[in-house]
Amino acid sequence: MKIVIAPDSLKGSIGAASAAKAISIGVLAACPDASIDLCPIADGGEGTVEAMVAATAGEVLVADVFDPLGAQIRAKFGLLGTNRQAGLPGQVGLSGAVSLAEGAEPTGEASGRTAVIEMASASGLMLVPSDKLDPLRTTSFGTGQLIMAALDAGARDIIVGLGDSATVDGGCGAAQAFGVTFVDGHGMACVCGLAGGGLADLGGLDLSGRDPRLAETKIIAACDVRNPLLGAAGSARVFGPQKGATPEVVELLEANLTRLADLVGSKLGLQVADLPGAGAAGGMGAGLVAFADAELVEGFAVVADAVGLSKRLAGADLCITSEGSFDKQSNSGKVAVGVAQLAAKERVPVVCIPGQASPDGPHEHFAAVRPLVGGEVTKTQAMGNPECYLTKRAEEVVRTLLAIK
């Protein structure tokens, strides 16, 4: 029996690679003769660098950047290797022979590499204490610094994983890091490290100081959601509360992002308000399109292609996936549904073992959904010992399926 195990991380609890291992222990307890293929995966958020570097035999580098509140931290990014499973969707010539050791500083000695960046690494929600969450103050400047570090390392194709950010600044902070200038209504330069609250003062922008290397660089924005920038499904209203926004702050952020979208439309001739994915990571999708000529791509598709998931599913008898929360947002580019859709093409049934599940989740894609939380297991217990409960649920579901057969 061939079983592919392709989980996402359960954010705040366990990484994708550890989740895959825990699930495999449960599978083998129920079916000792099973052939296991561990394939941890991501959707552009946390775990994207790990999954893509591992899949391509690449390297991990570090750079000193500013976190969402302006403190200096050391963040990781990846340079992809040559062991590519397949090319990226719609892309030609993305490759990346690398020879730098993990933890090495960027040298800029080579060219033509493909870098992969997680916004979460520099501007992530997990970097901000819960009592300091405030999207009016948090900035994506550090993500822009990571983009510059990737260029310094020789990258000429850059994949930016959008997800798990603490920001709602429309990518303006990041844009400042690579040389875009914003001015207020009086023509004065805006403070460096623009945050969501600072967008209220926007009066103009100037791309003339932007790093010229960006004009020769292909930027792929790997989105973990398809939400537009504005409106009821937009960045502020859907994701603002997760980042500490009160109802009043949500409306202020919506107004500020609207101001940004209008400015981008009038100055650059680009309409970013309704682009699918433009609202990802606090509007970073829109910002990268406007200020870095990026292409928005579904994050799961980028990672799944790099790890060769379709090929690995071929001939499998079962696939097991996982994610933190299984709900209506799972249908918006998240890992579990993406895995199920690829598996359906190979006629492989899929079981999802999420941290917790909601009735409004897309259950129709799965042979079974068995959340960790439920019955005797509380959320606190599941988050405190996810390995134990992933193993337990995996064993339960495989035993049930074998009994049915």
102 confidence band (pLDDT: 50, 70, 90): very low
**What's the rounded Cα separation, in Å, for the pair 55 and 214?**
26
What pLDDT is stored for residue 83 in this prediction? 56
The 10s digit of each residue's pLDDT in 244-292 is 999 999 999 999 999 999 999 999 999 999 999 999 999 999 999 999 9
**What's the rounded Cα separation, in Å, for the pair 312 and 272?**
36
| Radius of gyration, CA atoms only, the chain | 21
Mean pLDDT of the chain, nearest integer: 90
What does CATH list as the number for 48-300? 3.90.1510.10
**What's the rounded Cα separation, in Å, for the pair 366 and 364?**
6
CATH 3.90.1510.10 residue window(s) in the chain: 48-300
Three-state SS for 16? helix
The 10s digit of each residue's pLDDT in 211-241 is 999 999 999 999 988 899 999 999 999 999 9
The 10s digit of each residue's pLDDT in 156-177 is 899 999 988 999 999 999 999 9
81 confidence band (pLDDT: 50, 70, 90): confident
110 confidence band (pLDDT: 50, 70, 90): very low
Question: Does the pLDDT of residue 99 top 70, yes or no?
Answer: no
Superfamily grouping for domain 2-41+309-404: Glycerate kinase; domain 1 (3.40.50.10350)
What pLDDT is stored for residue 258 in this prediction? 98
17 confidence band (pLDDT: 50, 70, 90): confident
Question: Does the pLDDT of residue 57 top 90, yes or no?
Answer: no
**What's the rounded Cα separation, in Å, for the pair 79 and 95?**
10
């946390």: which residue's tokens?
Answer: 46
The 10s digit of each residue's pLDDT in 317-365 is 999 999 999 998 888 778 999 999 999 999 999 999 999 999 999 999 9
**What's the rounded Cα separation, in Å, for the pair 190 and 208?**
16
Question: Does the pLDDT of residue 100 top 90, yes or no?
Answer: no
Question: Does the pLDDT of residue 63 top 70, yes or no?
Answer: yes
**What's the rounded Cα separation, in Å, for the pair 180 and 211?**
8
What pLDDT is stored for residue 148 in this prediction? 97
The mean per-residue pLDDT over the stretch 371-392 comes to 94
Report the share of the chain in percent with pLDDT over 70: 92
What pLDDT is stored for residue 218 in this prediction? 95
Least Cα distance to 150 among 215, 86, 80, 88 occurs for: 80
Q: Which tops the pLDDT comparison, 98 or 26?
A: 26
Q: Which tops the pLDDT comparison, 20 or 85?
A: 20
The residues facing 28 across adjacent strands are none
CATH 3.40.50.10350 residue window(s) in the chain: 2-41+309-404
